[in-house]
Amino acid sequence: MQTANSDIQQQNVEIQLYALKDRINQIFFGTLLIDEQLKQNALLQKDLQNSIDRMQTSVNNGVVLSSNLNELEAELLQQKQNEVSLKAGRKAYLDMLGIFINLPLDENTVLEKPHTAILSDNIARPELFLYDFQKKSDDIQGKMLKVGVRPKFIFFFQGGYALPGLNAFDVNPAPYYITGFRLSWSLGGYYTMKNQLAILNIDKQALDIQRESFLFNTRLMLKQQNAEVVKLEQLIVMDNEIITKRTAVKNAAKVQLDNGVITVHDYISYLNAEDVAKQNLLLHQMQLLLAQYNYQNTSGN
C-alpha cells in the first residue's frame, strides 16, 4: 500500500512538471521567432542602406533633393529602433528560459531550430498512469479489507530456566517451556466490509469515468490543434506566393526610383509591403512549429 501511494505521489509530480512544458514551448519558440525577425530586419536594413548609398550619389550630383535621402535615412533609423526592441524582447525570453533550465543564457546564446514534428494521435499522458495507480491502490485496499476479516492462527513457544519452574512446590531450579497456538477471529469487520468494498468499487468506476472524460477532452483538443496545423500549412504556401509577387513589385519600384519615376515614399511603401509579407511567413512558420509541438505535448509524445 505504501508503494502504491508513493507511485501516486510521484505521478502527481510528473503531471505538475508536464504542465511546465507548454510554458517552455511558448518561451522557446517565441525566442526563435525573434531570431528570425532579427535576420529579416538585418536584410531590410541592408536593402535600405544600399538605396541610401545610391541616393547619396544622386544628391551629391544635384540630381535629386536631399529630402529624399532624409526619408530613406529616417526609415533606416526606424528599422534600427525595431532591432533594439527585438533584442530586448529576446533577452527577456532568454532570461525566463534560463530560470526554468537553471543555466545562464545571454545574448550570445543560440537556440537550435527543431525539426518538424511527426504528429502522433497516440495518447500517452501522465494523467492516464495516475488513474491506473489510483485503481491499483483501490485494489490493494480491497485485499486488505478481505485479509482483515480472516481468522488468525498464532503459534507460540516460550521457554526458560527458573526458580521455581512450572512446579511451584519444587525448590530446585528447573527448565521449562510452554507451546501452543491461539485462534482469533474478529467478526466485526464483516458488518462494514461489504459497504467498504462497494465504496471502493464506486471509486474505481469514478476513476474510469474520469479517465474516459480526460481522453475525450484530449481528443477534442487534438482535433482543434490538428486543424490549426493544417491552416498554418496552407497559410505558408500562400505566404510564399505573396512574397514572390511583393518582391517583384519592390524590385520594379527600385528601378523606377533610380529613374525618378516614383517618389522615395512610394518606394518605402513597396519595401515595407514586402517586409510585412516576409514577417508573416516567419510568424506562420514559427506558429506551425509551435502548433506541432503543442500537439505532441497534448498527446503526451
Examine the domain organization and report whether 175 and 127 are in the same domain: no
Examine the domain organization and report whether 174 and 104 are in the same domain: no
Examine the domain organization and report whether 234 and 173 are in the same domain: no
Examine the domain organization and report whether 200 and 54 are in the same domain: yes
Residue 95 CB coordination number (10 Å):
13
Sign of CA dihedral 210, 212, 213, 218: positive
Listed residue (132, 139, 128) closest to 200, CA to CA: 139
SS3 of residue 49 by DSSP:
helix
Identify whether the C-beta of residue 162 lies closer than 8 Å to the C-beta of residue 174. yes
SS3 of residue 152 by DSSP:
strand
Q: Which domain holds residue 168?
A: 151-184
Please compute, for residue 78, the number of CA atoms within 13 A of its CA located in the half-sphere on the CB side.
Answer: 10
Examine the domain organization and report whether 60 and 178 are in the same domain: no
Domain count, the chain: 2
**How many whole angstroms separate alpha carbon 56 and alpha carbon 98?**
45
Examine the domain organization and report whether 79 and 223 are in the same domain: yes
Examine the domain organization and report whether 156 and 262 are in the same domain: no
- In CATH, what number is assigned to the domain containing residue 271? 1.20.1600.10
pLDDT, one tens digit for every residue, the chain (301 residues): 999 999 999 999 999 888 888 889 999 999 999 999 999 999 999 989 988 888 887 777 776 678 888 888 999 999 999 999 999 999 999 999 999 999 999 989 999 999 888 888 899 999 999 999 999 999 999 999 888 888 889 999 999 998 887 777 777 888 988 999 998 887 777 778 889 999 999 999 999 999 999 999 999 999 999 999 999 999 999 999 999 999 999 999 989 988 888 888 898 999 999 999 999 999 999 999 999 999 999 999 8
**How many whole angstroms separate alpha carbon 222 and alpha carbon 219?**
5
Examine the domain organization and report whether 293 and 161 are in the same domain: no
Examine the domain organization and report whether 196 and 290 are in the same domain: yes
Confidence (pTM): 0.76
SS3 of residue 175 by DSSP:
strand
Examine the domain organization and report whether 270 and 159 are in the same domain: no
The cell for 110 is 543560440
Looking only at Cα atoms, what is the longest distance across the chain?
141
pLDDT score at 67 = 80
Q: What is the DSSP string of 240-261?
A: HHHHHHHHHHHHHHHHHHHTTS
Q: Which residues contact 200 (CB under 8 A, 6 or more apart)?
A: 138, 141, 142, 145
Examine the domain organization and report whether 26 and 156 are in the same domain: no
Listed residue (86, 200, 185, 225) closest to 140, CA to CA: 200
Examine the domain organization and report whether 210 and 277 are in the same domain: yes
